[in-house]
Structure 1
Amino acid sequence: MEVTLIGMGPGGAEYLPAAAAEALGRTDCLIGSRRLLEECALAPQAPRFPATKSADMLEILEGRDFSFPCVLYSGDTGFHSGARTLLPLLRERGVSVRVLPGVSSLQYFAAQLGRPWQEWSVVSAHGLTCDPVGEVLAARGRPVFFLTGGAGGAGALCQRLAQAGLGHLTATVGEDLSYPGERIRSGPAYELAGQETAPLSVLLVEGYAPPANAPRSQGLDDGVFLRGDVPMTKQEVRAAVLAKLEVRDGETYWDVGAGTGSVSVELSLLAPRSRVYAVECKGEACALIRANRERFGAYNLELAEGRAPQALEDLPAPDGVFIGGSDGELFPILQAAVEKNPAVRVCLTAIAVETLGAAAAALTQLGMEPRITQLTVARSRPAGGLNLMLGQNPVWIITGHREALV
């Protein structure tokens, strides 16, 4: 038995490669989604077996005596295709396999637009969790192409962009590509937000310009933030806090007692695919967080306005939490984080010995081993022709973490 995996292209029969047509002309079995089987006019004599999961396809192939079965995939076999999981299963069993690539929706769409696509960032939102805000930010100004479908339709993705403040970006939707009802339309993302699109759709988002003050490393200079009279975690401490949090892109972070939002902003910039929640109850501080969010283009940062721990109730489970201020509610804040994620990584700062003791006790009570670092910073100050060192207040950085209970 020789199994042929065929990329059927975008859908129109004229885009089927000659090698694929030849294979379909001699096949004795067709396996694929119902849509592909119904649309395939070739091999009318061959029995057809609807299946989309590789395990089900393998069961069909092993349960019958075929000579030249063909497995059909939409688009290209190497572009977000189920061939990725079927190929190793067949090879493990010593089955002879031939792969015939097809024209992907990305290639076809770019050709219809008359544009090259090699610089595009490519993302699948077809049946997968996808935050378009993070993908646009992570692309650093490159156009982002989305395969869409299900809950990740083009309208839903544009709605998320608009909610985050990116509704001005240009969105181009391609529907039913290569079919008689093909439709390509373009406009601001906010105009397409929430609209229903065809199940077979793709989306191109472009026009995002990264801020000129984008960081090259963690620990931005204090002077680049809008501050007012609101307390702010200073540059050296902030850099150490970010290191202690072990920031990983795609995770969820809380910044409790966010103040100016300096830590929240840096978290957002360091991890563009992460969701960052700045929790703050004071009006002036909330206004500064909004202003700094816009200043740095930190569109994956959301302000949770309210007093902790109450303001934490509706937030998603965090992977990391920084507590810059607790207003006497340190233990319930920590408890709220641990209840949502027992394996959460926690980092907090203290300038008073009493706060240090309370933090260590709270972490211990919650089953975490507190680890304490004291950071003492001195900054130079010109005096006449000399530079004198001016000491800053010592700061304790306390971290805690425990493995999730099995």
Structure 2
Amino acid sequence: MSADTPALVTVVGIGAGGWPDLGRTAQDALARAGVVLGSPRQLDLLPAPDVPGRRVPLPSPLLPALQRLIDEHAPAGLAVLASGDPMFHGIGATLVRLVGASRVRVLPHPSSAALAAARLGWPLATTEVLSLVTADPATVRRALNPGRRLLVLARDASTPALVASLVAAAGFEAAGITVLSQLGGPGERIVSGRAGSWDEPPGDPLNVIAVDCGPDGPRTSVVPGLPDAAYETDGQLTKREVRAVTLAVLAPVPGELLWDVGAGSGSVGIEWMRSHPACRAVAVESSPDRLATIRANASALGVPGLQVIEGRAPAALEGLPTPDAVFIGGGLTGDGVLEACLTALRPGGRLVANAVTVESEAVLAAAHAKLGGELTRLSVSRGSPVGGFTGWRPMMPVTIWSVTR
């Protein structure tokens, strides 16, 4: 290899079964490596006579040191060990992002999710797989619904009990919990129980938690427009019908980022994130009392990754990552708020703003006259008791302006 051609990094997936379970290509790659990086547990799986290269334990935290380790060891022939499939919630994807796909050679092993599905007889195509290795455990709540099955990749030995308590607290006490440890290895162990009565002590840190929600339990819709009662609120809440229309106009796409400006109780940003696990949102709110409410709502509805920013727009928007969409639910009449949001949008991004007062409607009317877009006025009435009968009780009409930059 010439001096101006960067050395390849070989990523080898390995399971609890260790060296004997690896294919010939993976074994050959490790045998030829001058340096092998991996966790101490993974390095111990390699027999010294067959893998003579220098062994370097991966540090913690890993990311700050990873580029240095690659630069230092790649010229000697670098192999990196990964658990199971390196491209499935593994270090392989991190390395590709860091040095480019052309410099990374990946030799996968069956993932722990694939092995768990095989043991349980669950089709992976209809089973949702979540990783709690780095994610907040509350992420599990987003996936809970009657009839659903989940495979949860654990962070450590305490994760099964934590997942069981979250599932039970969400109303799925009867859900089946199965913990599969050391899959594919000589110490493989499988234990089962119910979420509401789970009392197994912590076991092996290398485990996968299978959750079978069963036929019963609370339903939480996967489309926008959750019931207002799903949120803690002090009254600053985009109501269900308006929220459903607003999210439809915002049109979330997987991987996109939303700014929810004047977030109130956080409902629009939360339902944007619930539309797909890759959707991201930033909730900007000037009221300190509402910040904890937004975080509590996000956690309860399974999107604890919602970023919450305290401050008043437009100043609070400075330094935030470029949004694909912006929703302005409060503060529309503030100086420079609308202009700052429009300027921040990427080309082709969408802005949606809701108004309920004459003053905020005037702002939207002026913006529509100048920039075009669409104006919609939404009037909603809900059935309400009138003596012994039922009548219509109107909500405040809402004007919605949407525009594409």
TM range, normalised to the smaller chain? 0.5 to 0.7
- Extract unaligned runs of 5+ from structure 2: 2-7, 231-236, 280-286, 299-308, 318-325, 339-359, 365-374, 382-391
Rounded to whole Å, the distance in 1 between the matches of 2:188 and 2:29 is 28
SS at match of 2:184: coil
**Aligned in 2, Cα 1:251/1:34: closer, same or farther, shift over 3 Å?**
farther
Distance 2:191 2:161 in 1: 12
Q: Distance in 1 between matches of 2:200 and 2:148?
A: 24
Q: Alpha carbons of 1:140 and 1:10: their partners in 2 closer, same or farther (altered >3 Å)?
A: farther
Contact preservation (8 Å) 2:225, 2:241: yes
Identity of aligned residues (%): 27
Q: SS in structure 2 opposite 1:314?
A: helix
2:56 paired residue number: 49
Corresponding residue for residue 82 of structure 1: 91
For 1:394 and 1:115, locate their aligned partners in 2 and report how far apart those are by CA, in whole Å.
49
Match of 1:125 among 123, 126, 132: 132
Change (3 A) 1:183 1:197: same
Structure 1 Cα separation of the partners of residues 181 and 250 of structure 2: 43
Give 5+ residue unaligned stretches, structure 1: 226-231, 275-308, 321-334, 349-361, 380-389, 401-406
Partner of 2:369: none
Matches within 5 A, 1:3-402: 3-42=9-48, 43-51=50-58, 53=63, 54-62=66-74, 64=75, 66=76, 68-87=77-96, 98-137=105-144, 141-150=147-156, 153-192=159-198, 196-209=202-215, 237=242, 239-240=244-245, 271=275, 312=290, 314-316=292-294, 338=312, 342=316, 345=327, 347=329, 364=333, 368-369=337-338, 370=360, 371=363, 375=377, 377=379, 395-397=397-399
- The CA RMSD measured in Å over matched residues stands at 5.3
Shift of residue 234, structure 1, vs aligned partner:
8.4
SS of 1:4's equivalent in the other structure is: strand
Q: How far apart in 1 are the matches of 2:174 and 2:276?
A: 19
Secondary structure of 1:80 counterpart = coil
Q: What is the CA distance between 1:39 and its match in structure 2? A: 2.2
Q: Report Cα offsets for 1:224-256 as digits up to 9, x if no partner.
A: x9xxxxxx9988656445557877999899997
Match of 1:298 in 2: none
How many residues in Structure 1 have an aligned counterpart in Structure 2? 314
What amino acid is the match of 2:169? Q
Please give the per-residue CA displacement for 1:111-159, whole angstroms capped at 9, x wherever unaligned: 333444332111111122343444424x784411111105982222222
Match of 1:295?
none
2-side partners of 1:18 and 1:246: how far apart?
48
Matched residue type, 1:364: T
TM-score of the pair, normalised by structure 1: 0.57
SS of match in other structure, 1:131: helix
* Structure 1 CA distance for aligned equivalents of residues 249 and 399 of structure 2: 9
- Code of the aligned partner of 1:86: L
Q: Which amino acid aligns with 1:121?
A: E
Kept in 1: contact 2:226–2:240 (CA 8 A): yes
* SS across alignment from 1:198: coil
Q: Deviations over 1:13-58 (max 9, x none)?
A: 4322232223333443322222211221153532212225541431
Distance 1:171 1:213, change over 3 A: closer
Contact kept in structure 2, 1:6 and 1:100, CA below 8 Å: yes
Describe the superposition over 1:317-371 as per-residue Cα deviations: whole angstroms up to 9, x where unpaired.
Answer: 5999xxxxxxxxxxxxxx98859x94595537xxxxxxxxxxxxx7535864535
Q: For 2:67 and 2:224, how far apart are their aligned partners in 1? A: 45
| Cα distance, 1:270–1:57 mapped onto 2, change above 3 Å | closer
Larger Rg: 1
Question: Per-residue deviation at 1:202?
Answer: 0.8
CA–CA distance in 1 between the matches of 2:54 and 2:247?
Answer: 59
SS of residue paired to 1:159: helix
* In structure 2, distance between residues paired with 1:131 and 1:221: 20
CA gap 1:255/1:206 in 2 versus in 1, 3 angstroms: farther
